[in-house]
Structure formats: structure tokens, C-alpha cells
Amino acid sequence: MIEMVVVLILMTIIAATVLGRAVTPSDTDLTSATEKIRSQIRFAQSQAMKRSDALWGIQSDSAGKQYWLFRATATVTEDVVMPGGDYIGASTRITFASLGADLNQFTVVFDRMGRPYKAQANGIPNTPVAAGDNPMVSVTKDETRYINVTPETGRIP
């Protein structure tokens, strides 16, 4: 019985050591940033479906190193503060530094049915997302993770 307890304790110590070295903080940061962007895209889709008076979307400007949530109607396109966003000062845009990773340049817009588009003009969606457009979003920090947006349904796996 004592031998079994000793063997189990040694196996636990070895497993903790191996697993502790396998997961790095960089991996954790990249996973966190990818899930955050995925959740924010889903939030934009849910807002578009709840509030049928406007299109909702997220856009990234890789040159300016920032991304933001927006609401578009026939008369105006305005930035909207995103829940859980790490904003600096009075800005409505989130910097890549606050995210902890880099993004590619992308725009994803959702209509009131939750269908994804790559662009909009005056509150009218255009250029539906097609299979060849995926992955739409790439999140990079030492390595790259991708986010797909399913055409027509807007599913974000």
C-alpha cells in the first residue's frame, strides 16, 4: 500500500513538471486573444440580430494597429464601445497592444438575420462572405491562430 502511494506521488510530480513546461505563457496569451476576438465577433452578430434597425460589425485596421465595433445605418456609421474592451482614454478603438496580439486587416458585418458580409455602404450590406474568404481573421503572437466565419449562417466555430 505504501509503495502504491509513493508511486502515485512520484507520477503526480512528474506529470506536473511535464505539463508545466508544455504550456507557455505565450500560448495562453494567444489563446486568450483569439477567444476574445471570437467572442467580440459573436457579440456583433447578436447585436445585429437583436437590433434590426442597423448593421453591426467589427473592423480591424492593421496599419493603425487597432480594431473596433461599429453600428451602421443609412445615415451614419458610428463606433460603439464593446463590452470587455480594453480602451485607452476616451477612445472607442482597441489597440493591438491592449489585445496582446496582432490581427490582420478585416471587416465583418452582420445583417439582422446574422448573415456575414465583408463590407457595407450606408447601412446596406454588400459582398457576402464566401467559403474562399476563410479564414477571415488571423490572430498572431509568435504563432498564428485563425477564426473562420461560416458563409450564409455566420457560425463562428
CATH number reported for the structural domain that contains residue 105 in this entry = 3.55.40
Total of domains in the chain: 1
The reported pLDDT for the residue numbered 24 is 58
| CB-CB contact of 82 with 40 (8 Å) | yes
Is 13 a member of any domain?
A: no
How far is it, in rounded angstroms, from Cα 91 to Cα 96?
A: 13
How far is it, in rounded angstroms, from Cα 113 to Cα 135?
A: 21
Is 4 a member of any domain?
A: no
Is 127 a member of any domain?
A: yes
Q: What is the domain extent for residue 29?
A: 25-147
**Three-class DSSP category at 110:** strand
How far is it, in rounded angstroms, from Cα 64 to Cα 137?
A: 16
Is 29 a member of any domain?
A: yes
- For the chain (157 residues), the mean pLDDT of every run of 10, in chain order, is 92 82 65 92 94 92 91 93 80 88 94 94 92 92 93 91
The reported pLDDT for the residue numbered 25 is 60
Is 92 a member of any domain?
A: yes
Is 8 a member of any domain?
A: no
Is 33 a member of any domain?
A: yes
Which residues lie closer than 8 Å to 30 by C-beta, 6 or more apart?
Answer: 101, 139, 140, 141, 142, 143, 145
Is 19 a member of any domain?
A: no
pTM score:
0.81
